[in-house]
Amino acid sequence: MPKNGQTQQFDKAAFQAAVEKHLTTTYASTADTATARSWYLAMGKALAEISTGNLLATEKNLAEQKARSVNYLSLEFLIGRLTGNNLISMGLYENVADAMEEMGQNLTDLLEEERDPALGNGGLGRLAACFMDSLAAQEYPAVGYGLHYEYGLFRQSFVDGRQVEAPDAWRGLEGYPWEVLRPELNQEVSLYGHVEAYTDENGVECRRWVPGMTVEGVAWDLPIVGYDNKSVYPLRLWECRSNAPFSLSRFNDGDYVGAQYSALEAGNVTKVLYPNDNHEQGKALRLMQQYFHCACSVADILRRHEAAGNSIESLSELETIQLNDTHPTIAIPELMRILLDEYKLGWDKAWEISSKTFAYTNHTLLPEALETWSEALIQQMLPRHMEIIFEINHRFMKLVEQTWPGNNEVKRKLSIIQEGPQRMVRMANLCVVSTYAVNGVAALHSELVKRDLFPEFNELFPGRLTNVTNGVTPRRWIKYCNPGLSTLISEKVGDDWPANLEKIAGLEKFADDEAFQKRYMAVKKENKQRLADWVQENMGIELDTDAIFDIQIKRLHEYKRQHLNLLNILALYHRLLNDPTFDMHPRVFFFGAKAAPGYALAKDIIFAINKVAEKVNNDPRLGGKLKVVFIPDYRVSLAEILFPAADVSEQISTAGKEASGTGNMKFAMNGALTIGTMDGANVEMREEVGDENIFIFGLLVDEVLKLKQEGYDPYRYYHADSLLRAALDLLETDEFTPGNPGQLAAIRHNLLDGGDPYLVLADFADYVKTQEKIDAEYRDQKTWARKAILNTALMSKFSSDRSIRDYANNIWKLEPVSL
């Protein structure tokens, strides 16, 4: 139980009175008639009163101390439900459970009333959420800046096995109890228009943006509550509202109706999160979202800086801005514009400040995810920013010319502007040129960023490209989601491990202790039962918790290779039915994944897994040995049930494609053994746990590259491997779609005739062999328990507290400030 948190401030009677007051005055209910939802909302409001007080106190303290802080800019924060987690951080979980019990309410049930704020797609957004948690836990001064989407990531359901998307109105009708409106922080944001030259009062030639219209940015703060301390940092989410009269020029032209139409359009800016993961879309509205986010955030950073009495020249000493991927890159020309056109600093001074303020995190090497924006679009929406980008590039090209005189090829490659029929702005190049640090998210990934993505930049700016390996917060991903394991850990290593995950290494010496093994496995069994109960209740599928629970949960993407997993399932199915000598330990394969609505093959893979599930789950010939469960609407709150229940964690991306992964870390902490490729953070996890405690298979990065260079032929594998052939050919039949052969053929076609871009077939045999090894090892429960315990014990490196300390020490140069 946290000792230094907000516990001492807790006054039960006052808290109960606040809940009752909100029940009646905010939600118009009475204690005897209120629904569970109203109770949850009233309780949330009462708790938010405590956190808001501390948020204001933290803000004041940091301003007074002139503390250096980080501003984490991200288009996504996949925070998940806040109530349970905040109760833990506040140290109030038991107190509030008790207070609510006295009011006739069960806390666990009330927590289920909260809808997940799903303001992100996947790993990138969830990382931002873990980072905010770790900043607050360690009291590194920080503000998170994001967007207040009206609709988060779509809700997924399956209709006859196919994904159907529905809007996610995460705030409900009543609004989200933890959010607080900050009207005094509102910003005005300009768009469109043109640039004009003018001579200022000192006779200096200047340029300025004459916008075509403006919109209003409204600030909502969500509290990020520091674990076991009093600090509360804001996650500041901007909502776009259109202010009337709207289009300045059209209104003045007398086009009143037209002006109102634009208002409708701009009212859409923060309506919905773009549902693409690792894929850019290039839509004008998305660029508008990005700029709106950056304009509000940069203006707010400058407001804070000045309100604390600091000069603009000292900006980079007191503030650093971390760009989570290239999505907020337009913040760079925005700050430059303000420094040049409003502060009138002159290019060199403005550049010095700006380039010492920004740092950038790269999350992917996939070409389809590297953002480019058409010059024409930027020119139209943000004409002054386009000028500034050109100027940055012009000066940068001079540097390239000095370094590689006369080498036009290298210029073409490095230029921020990509030439072609449509000139495009390469956002990653703009970032590398304009920041003081660029990091990848795992050791392997960062090496590939240097070696393959930006080798010349690495030469040009030695030391700028670095690594910070990702991490996850042990508060949500062990303590909150796995109370059974948490109790066991605390008993052995003391109860301060959630804030000091190094302590968890103390479990290592119990790995061979039989009594401990039994208790550890009993906790695993309880967690498997909790998941089985959920599946029974929500999907009507009965599961045996003696089976191996094998789980792959992540976005649906070819590079993540859910279809490799599927092919192994098909191979098992084939062998169970055709090979009388074949035996396997019962296994349940779980999937959870959303596909981007426009990603046809990803949706085909979901359909195929669902169809295979339907068949195998009801086929008496399989004797219950094989089950497949595709959990619909995978989200943070379901992840909290899935990670603790896993025996096997699937991390099977094509080597070189998964920058880091973070689910891999959550599984291992909770005692699942990984089957994985030498990709992303799997490589470092193997280093930590040792090769005996992880199941590595498949081609290495350079083997992948070599095979592709030599000319990869998927048919070679198809013809050489009868099991692979059997699995693939099942997709052509109507085995899983009775009466409709060929409904699953798209996957087979993509792998054989489509060239198998992610080398699924090349890794198939080794994958199957490694799964067999897992099957054999699981049968020896003592050895399995030992390995699982060691996985928990040896994961301390992957706490996001460590990641944040790496950023703070090596990049941001931040010091903690306690309240």
Binding mask 639-658 for ligand GLG (x = CB under 6 A): -------------------x
Q: Quick one: 122 or 676, whose CB is closer to ligand GLG?
A: 122
- What single string gives the DSSP state of each residue in 142-207? EEEEEE--SB-SPEEEEETTEEEEE---TTTTT--TT-EE-GGG-EEEEES-EEEEEE-TTS-EEE
The rounded distance, in Å, linking the Cα atoms of 76 and 293 is 11
The rounded distance, in Å, linking the Cα atoms of 675 and 660 is 15
Angle between the N-to-C axes of helices 760-778 and 562-578, in degrees from 0 to 180, rounded to the nearest 10: 60
Q: Quick one: 318 or 665, whose CB is closer to ligand GLG?
A: 665
Supply the minimum distance, in Å, between the C-beta of residue 559 and ligand GLG. 9
**How many residues does this entry show for the chain?**
819
Beta-strand runs (E) in 571-686: 587-592, 626-630, 648-651, 673-676
CA distances (Å), origin 356, targets 254, 324, 426, 436, 480: 46, 17, 21, 6, 38
- What single string gives the DSSP state of each residue in 324-356? ESSTTTTHHHHHHHIIIIIS---HHHHHHHHHH
Supply the minimum distance, in Å, between the C-beta of residue 258 and ligand GLG. 39
Supply the minimum distance, in Å, between the C-beta of residue 38 and ligand GLG. 36
For the segment 127-186, give every residue that binds ligand GLG (CB under 6 A): 127
Binding mask 253-292 for ligand GLG (x = CB under 6 A): ------------------------xx--------------
Strand ordering across the sheet containing 424-426: 372-374, 424-426, 417-418
Backbone φ/ψ region at 234: left (φ over 0), alpha (ψ -120 to 50), beta: beta
Is position 592 an interface residue for ligand GLG (rule: CB under 6 A)? no
Backbone angles phi and psi of 335, in degrees to 5:
-65, -40
Residue 91's contacts (CB-CB under 8 Å, 6 or more residues apart) are 1, 2, 3, 5, 6, 7, 228
Specify the residue for token string 């409106």.
181
Q: Is 694 exposed, middle or buried (0-12, 13-18, 19+ CB in 10 A)?
A: buried
Supply the minimum distance, in Å, between the C-beta of residue 594 and ligand GLG. 12
Supply the minimum distance, in Å, between the C-beta of residue 203 and ligand GLG. 50
Q: Quick one: 130 or 547, whose CB is closer to ligand GLG?
A: 130
Q: Quick one: 123 or 193, whose CB is closer to ligand GLG?
A: 123
User: Tokens standing for 746?
Assistant: 């798209």
Is position 87 an interface residue for ligand GLG (rule: CB under 6 A)? no
Among 662, 750, 771, 800, binds ligand GLG (CB under 6 A): 662
Supply the minimum distance, in Å, between the C-beta of residue 131 and ligand GLG. 10
Q: Quick one: 69 or 276, whose CB is closer to ligand GLG?
A: 276
Which residues face 649 on adjacent strands?
A: 551, 674
Contact 161, 607 (CB under 8 A): yes
Which helix H or strand E contains 474, and what residues bound it? helix 474-474
The rounded distance, in Å, linking the Cα atoms of 167 and 586 is 37
Among 275, 328, 632, 661, binds ligand GLG (CB under 6 A): 661
Please count the residues of this chain forming the interface with ligand GLG, following the rule CB under 6 A: 16
CA angle (299 as vertex; 293, 301 as ends), nearest 5: 100
Question: Where does this chain touch ligand GLG (CB under 6 A) — which range of 118-126, 426-434, 642-650, 738-746?
Answer: 118-126
Supply the minimum distance, in Å, between the C-beta of residue 685 and ligand GLG. 13
Backbone angles phi and psi of 814, in degrees to 5:
-110, 150
Question: Where does this chain touch ligand GLG (CB under 6 A) — which range of 9-17, 119-127, 295-303, 800-808?
Answer: 119-127
Q: Quick one: 179 or 658, whose CB is closer to ligand GLG?
A: 658
Q: Quick one: 557 or 787, whose CB is closer to ligand GLG?
A: 557
Own/partner pairs, 211-214, CB within 8 angstroms, 24+ separation: 211/248, 212/247, 212/248, 212/249, 213/246, 213/247, 213/248, 213/249, 213/262, 213/266, 214/188, 214/189, 214/190, 214/243, 214/248
Q: Quick one: 366 or 819, whose CB is closer to ligand GLG?
A: 366
Among 79, 119, 124, 488, binds ligand GLG (CB under 6 A): 124
CA distances (Å), origin 53, targets 47, 60, 223, 752: 10, 11, 10, 61
Question: Where does this chain touch ligand GLG (CB under 6 A) — which range of 659-667, 727-735, 750-758, 788-796?
Answer: 659-667
Backbone φ/ψ region at 698: left (φ over 0), alpha (ψ -120 to 50), beta: left
Supply the minimum distance, in Å, between the C-beta of residue 661 and ligand GLG. 5
Radius of gyration of the chain (CA): 27
Q: Quick one: 229 or 800, whose CB is closer to ligand GLG?
A: 800
Question: Where does this chain touch ligand GLG (CB under 6 A) — which range of 121-129, 157-165, 290-298, 515-523?
Answer: 121-129
Among 123, 144, 498, 644, binds ligand GLG (CB under 6 A): 123
Q: Quick one: 193 or 474, whose CB is closer to ligand GLG?
A: 474
Specify the residue for token string 């067999």.
772
Supply the minimum distance, in Å, between the C-beta of residue 656 and ligand GLG. 11
Residue nearest to ligand GLG (CB): 123
Among 660, 677, 771, 803, binds ligand GLG (CB under 6 A): 660
Binding mask 669-688 for ligand GLG (x = CB under 6 A): -----------x--------
Binding mask 311-350 for ligand GLG (x = CB under 6 A): ----------------------------------------
Binding mask 470-509 for ligand GLG (x = CB under 6 A): x---------------------------------------
Supply the minimum distance, in Å, between the C-beta of residue 556 and ligand GLG. 13
Contact 446, 473 (CB under 8 A): no
Cβ atoms < 10 Å from Cβ of 283: 11
Is position 122 an interface residue for ligand GLG (rule: CB under 6 A)? yes
Supply the minimum distance, in Å, between the C-beta of residue 591 and ligand GLG. 17
Q: Quick one: 492 or 686, whose CB is closer to ligand GLG?
A: 686
Q: Quick one: 354 or 470, whose CB is closer to ligand GLG?
A: 470
User: Tokens standing for 772?
Assistant: 């067999």
Q: Quick one: 177 or 661, whose CB is closer to ligand GLG?
A: 661
Among 363, 561, 786, 802, binds ligand GLG (CB under 6 A): 363
For the segment 434-463, give every residue that binds ligand GLG (CB under 6 A): 441
DSSP 3: S
Which residues face 159 on adjacent strands?
A: 162
Which residues face 696 on adjacent strands?
A: 676
Q: Is the peptide bond before 245 cis (omega within 30 degrees of 0)?
A: yes
Q: Which residues are catalytic?
A: 363, 554-555, 560, 662, 666
For the segment 5-44, give every residue that binds ligand GLG (CB under 6 A): none
Which residues face 324 on adjacent strands?
A: 361
Among 73, 218, 659, 794, binds ligand GLG (CB under 6 A): 659
Supply the minimum distance, in Å, between the C-beta of residue 655 and ligand GLG. 13
Supply the minimum distance, in Å, between the C-beta of residue 664 and ligand GLG. 9
Start-to-end CA span in the chain (Å): 19
Q: Which residues bind ligand GLG (CB under 6 A)?
A: 122-124, 127, 277-278, 363-364, 441, 470, 658-662, 680
